[in-house]
């Protein structure tokens, strides 16, 4: 197998080599300075919506330890779309639908199933992938309930496969820098964290994200998990309580799902946090105030480039890389070398515990919900 970056791939594509099947995935050899796994793992994208098509599949052209090996779709037309064969060289035997998905167990070319389906389908297909002996990446949110998270974790443990949640930001260098600031107390102890995550939805009112049966929630389960995540790694600890409020200004559009939610966290060291998430207002920011300065990212969780600054006058800047490529490579390395799993199932379950507590607080008119999370899901 050979690694191709996007530029090399496009050059080969223009010569017709990829489409003709003359160029396939090649393996990495270990080098003296940068030892790498000998094998690249094959990933099957389970669900071919916009995120798979326009983010994950292109990112898999830039990965080093995994590649796009197969696809799974519930739409007959997508099975036949030329892009998957012509651009990505996927053979017919690696194309599956929802009905024959379980036969993926017999395909040694596929090592990982990346579940990128509506939220209510995450548990079913993650469990089916695990039972088929495939490692699992489950897109965020991990599931629509804590009980479903438990079922996924149990299935993966029983099958002896690895599990990761699609938290691309956990592999991003800006996130790692924030964690470093907190660990090394670069600006002292964190006192207050503010995190925003939202966008204005003007699309089809019948889209699955606005269908509670398919999504399991609205802005909170879609964008709010970014606010939850940044609040946690912006303080270096899990919250011990949460209180929340919900607001709606377009009830005719957001008929079944939450539009805008704010929540307040308390942390073990006495720090407090405020998060905001919405499908009807823009927000993309993390700011952490410490007792010896502050730092912020804005944007904080877009596909990039990210941008940041600090009270010391520093600009936080790293070369832009595909977060999705970094994320999938991190999981492949975890499988191949035993490196840390930067987004384990326990992290996805922890976040769903917080999501359920936020919804419960809203139902109880903002009443504080105590959380007993310990170090659950935290990865340094």
Catalytic site residues? 140, 226
The closest alpha carbon to 284, from 313, 258, 305, belongs to 305
Closest to 291 in 3D by CA, of 311, 275, 308: 311
* Cα distances (angstroms) measured from residue 296 to each of 193, 311, 365: 10, 9, 31
- Dist CA 51 CA 231 (whole Å): 25
- Count of C-beta atoms within a 10 Å radius of residue 302: 16
Tokens of 292: 């010896």
10 Å Cβ neighbour count for 318?
14
Please name which of 339, 317, 308, 305 lies closest in space to residue 234, comparing C-alpha atoms.
308
Q: Backbone phi, then psi, for 13, in 5-degree steps?
A: -60, -40
**CA dist., res. 211 & res. 215, Å (int):** 6
What does DSSP say about strands 241-247 and 112-115: parallel, antiparallel, or unpaired? unpaired
Name the DSSP letter for residue 99.
T
């Amino acid at each position: 197998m050979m690694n191709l970056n996007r530029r090399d791939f496009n050059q080969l594509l223009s010569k017709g080599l990829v489409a003709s099947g003359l160029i396939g995935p090649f393996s990495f050899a270990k080098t003296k300075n940068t030892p790498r796994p000998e094998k690249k793992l094959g990933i099957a994208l389970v669900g071919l919506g916009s995120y798979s098509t326009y983010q994950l599949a292109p990112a898999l052209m830039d990965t080093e330890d995994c590649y796009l090996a197969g696809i799974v779709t519930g739409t007959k037309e997508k099975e036949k779309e030329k892009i998957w064969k012509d651009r990505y060289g996927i053979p017919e035997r690696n194309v599956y639908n929802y009905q024959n998905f379980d036969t993926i167990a017999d395909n040694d070319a596929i090592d990982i199933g990346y579940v990128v389906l509506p939220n209510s389908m995450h548990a079913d297909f993650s469990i089916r992938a695990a039972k088929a002996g495939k490692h699992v990446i489950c897109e965020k949110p991990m599931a629509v309930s804590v009980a479903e998270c438990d079922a996924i974790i149990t299935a993966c443990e029983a099958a002896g496969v690895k599990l990761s949640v699609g938290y691309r930001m956990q592999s991003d260098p800006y996130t790692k820098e924030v964690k470093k600031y907190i660990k090394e107390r670069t600006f002292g102890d964190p006192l207050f964290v503010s995190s925003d995550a939202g966008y204005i939805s003007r699309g089809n009112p019948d889209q699955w994200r606005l269908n509670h049966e398919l999504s399991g929630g609205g802005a909170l389960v879609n964008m709010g998990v970014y606010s939850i995540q940044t609040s946690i790694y912006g303080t270096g600890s899990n919250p011990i309580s949460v209180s929340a409020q919900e607001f709606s200004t377009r009830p005719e559009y957001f008929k079944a799902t939450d539009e805008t939610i704010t929540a307040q966290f308390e942390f073990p060291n006495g720090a407090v946090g405020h998060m905001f998430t919405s499908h009807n207002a823009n927000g993309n920011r993390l700011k952490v105030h410490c007792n010896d300065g502050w730092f912020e990212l804005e944007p904080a969780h877009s596909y990039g480039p990210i941008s940041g600054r600090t009270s010391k006058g520093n600009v936080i800047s790293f070369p832009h890389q595909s977060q999705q490529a970094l994320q999938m490579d991190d999981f492949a390395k975890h499988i191949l070398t035993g490196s840390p799993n930067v987004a384990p199932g326990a992290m996805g379950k922890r976040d769903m515990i917080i999501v359920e507590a936020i919804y419960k607080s809203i139902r109880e008119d903002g009443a504080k919900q105590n959380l007993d999370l310990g170090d659950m899901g935290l990865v340094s």
